[in-house]
Amino acid sequence: MRAQEPCIELSVVMPAYNEGERLAGNITETVKVLRGMGMSFEVVVVDDGSGDETWRLLGEMRGRIPELVAIRQGMNLGKGQALKKGFWNSRGGLIAFLDADLDVHPSQLKVLMDRMRDTESHVVIGSKRHPQSVLRYPLYRKVLSTVYFWLVKSLFGLPIRDTQTGLKLFRREVLAQVFPKVLIKKFAYDLELLVIAHHFGFKVAEAPVKIDFKRRFGRIGLRTILDITWDTLAVFYRLTILRYYDHKEWAPWPPDKAPLISVLVPVKGWGTYLAQCLAQCQFLEYPCFEVIVLPDQEVKEGPEWVHDKRIRFVPTGPVNPGRKRDIGAREANGQILAFLDSDAYPTPEWLTLATRHFQNPLVAAVGGPGVTPEEDSLLQKVSGLIYESPLGGGPASFRYTPGTLREVDDFPSCNLLVRRADFEAVRGFNSDFWPGEDTVLCRDLVHRLSKKIVYEPKAVVFHHRRSLFRGHLSQVRQYAYHRGYFAKRFPETSRKAAFFIPSLFVLFAASGLFLAFLLPPLMPLWNAGIAIYLGATVLAAVPTRRIKMGALFWMGLVLTHFTYGIFFLIGLTAKGVTR
């Protein structure tokens, strides 16, 4: 990440995903137009994990076009994330967003700049609905645009008639304040960006555009429409109900003061997930970090880049993850220890967003959500959906999908950063427990040291799930057994009503057999309770929006409840747990 002060007049940020066929010509055309405008500029192209020739073509063009800045994301993270990465790697006082397909020609930037000057606005967007706009645009896209306009108008009252056109112009200070608040990466990111800017008091104006729709077939299907609608409602919920955008946050560390971070990855041995984890660690935007991999035995396989000087392999022998992390902590040089599972991989801004909270000396640890990656199988995704659901993950569902900033007293070590001094003060993980060693660590940090653990929803890692049904239910069984035992051993963090609810339901469900024979008058009450439960679980499956996924979700959710309820009771009555 470049931290320079703005030193050029205009940065044009172009996100590109599988645009290889026409990208070279479109970049050349953009540069030609900008040179003719007589101002200093750069074109920042962000390859959003393309699978075609996009990155190779960008590499070839960099040598011929000095104004071109090429950046690659290791995976497809969505247009919103690409724009954010492009902005943080730009230097312009004005920032323009321009779609790489050039449906809106770059020559129209002059119109937006004139409009910004004349209205003294902070943001100017190209608008398809401006009365002077000229559109060569499919009818169905016009209809969708109109419907979406009325939805946005009714929810947010923005002083503009269009939010989705791919040409926008911002003063740099707007994005510097707004981007840290943006959560949506793929669908309604345009809307969230403009809603936050308007909410912060920045003046937003619109300008006419000429649009030549070049694709023969649009990319907007029913699933995309549903996703955009869902994300739009999520922005409304965060703005009006949670008031999330009003929360004050710590700013990121200045690059010259950022503490060294040691990322610790326990693993049995080399595998596909570990390779992905280490590959994505190379794209971390944080200025100073090291990665310590903790396998059972010495790792001799893997691609050449595993010899990156920031990556070290420290064999530990066949010990449990808690012991591996303790060994890694002793080998680490960092002031902050970042614990990451080998089947998880971070987003580029993971460390930057999480570590800012350590500027508060009362914060001992920071955790973030472990989101199910898009590349997971259907059965893995259903497992993730169960954990994300309020009926599946319960009060801990925010661990699996970005929630709201908050303080917590328990958090899993698949995405947990701990201040080294505090980690050593409580003597690290209690490796007598696995799983559950992270619960004991968090309890000690909060109740022994009287420190805080912060949940940062933007510090995202992608965490591969276990497949439904065997792997998922086995994991639930382990979680439930240890939580049941911890409920009597560590009541400060584990004796909470929410943890007992599945067991109470199991006891209630099992009571029906006895009621049928011993207390028949109570059977209608039992029937009503079961009917309410079944109705609630069916409704929970509706947001999956697919029949097959919804059916799998429903079956998995019910089995999760019974598995957790039964094994929580077993753990509650256990005399101890084995290592």
Q: State the 10-residue block means of pLDDT for the chain, 579 residues long.
A: 60 91 91 94 92 88 92 79 87 94 91 95 90 73 79 88 88 89 79 94 92 57 80 90 80 83 95 91 88 90 64 93 94 97 93 93 96 93 94 91 90 96 91 80 94 94 94 94 90 90 94 82 88 93 85 96 96 76
Superfamily of domain 261-467: Spore Coat Polysaccharide Biosynthesis Protein SpsA; Chain A (3.90.550.10)
DSSP 237: I
What count of other Cβ atoms lies within 10 Å of the Cβ of residue 173? Answer: 12
Residue ranges matching CATH 3.90.550.10 in the chain: 8-246, 261-467
At 220 the pLDDT is 62
Q: Which two tokens stand for residue 547?
A: 């029949």
**Element of type H or E holding 407:** strand 406-408
DSSP 104: B
Residue 78 — left, alpha, or beta (φ > 0 → left; ψ -120 to 50 → alpha)? Answer: left
What count of other Cβ atoms lies within 10 Å of the Cβ of residue 13? Answer: 27
Q: How far apart are CA 366 and CA 376, in angstroms?
A: 26
C-alpha dist (Å) from residue 24 to 14, 20, 68, 216, 468: 12, 7, 11, 20, 44
**Hey, what amino acid is at 274?**
L
Cβ partners under 8 Å of residue 447, min gap 6:
409, 492, 493
Q: Which two tokens stand for residue 517?
A: 């024979």
At 453 the pLDDT is 97
Peptide bond into 457 cis (omega under 30): no
**Element of type H or E holding 93:** strand 92-98
> The domain at 8-246 falls in which architecture?
Alpha-Beta Complex (3.90)
**Hey, what amino acid is at 355?**
T
**Hey, what amino acid is at 484?**
G
Q: Using a CB cutoff of 8 Å and minimum separation of 24, what contacts does 49-52 make?
A: 49/17, 49/73, 49/74, 49/75, 49/76, 49/77, 50/16, 50/17, 50/18, 50/19, 50/20, 50/76, 51/18, 52/18, 52/19, 52/20, 52/21
At 476 the pLDDT is 95
**Hey, what amino acid is at 520?**
P
3-state secondary structure of 201: coil
C-alpha dist (Å) from residue 44 to 11, 65, 67, 333: 7, 12, 8, 35
Q: How far apart are CA 27 and CA 65, in angstroms?
A: 9
Q: How far apart are CA 173 and CA 152, in angstroms?
A: 25
At 303 the pLDDT is 56
Q: How would you label 471-484 residue by residue, b for 16+ Cβ within 10 Å and e otherwise? A: ebbebbbebbbbbb
**Hey, what amino acid is at 53?**
E
If we measure between CA atoms, which residue out of 64, 70, 109 comes closest to residue 89? Answer: 70
Q: How far apart are CA 75 and CA 70, in angstroms?
A: 15
If we measure between CA atoms, which residue out of 231, 181, 178, 185 comes closest to residue 201? Answer: 178
Cβ partners under 8 Å of residue 405, min gap 6:
244, 247, 249, 454, 455, 456, 457
Strand 363-367, strand 415-419: pairing? antiparallel
3-state secondary structure of 303: coil
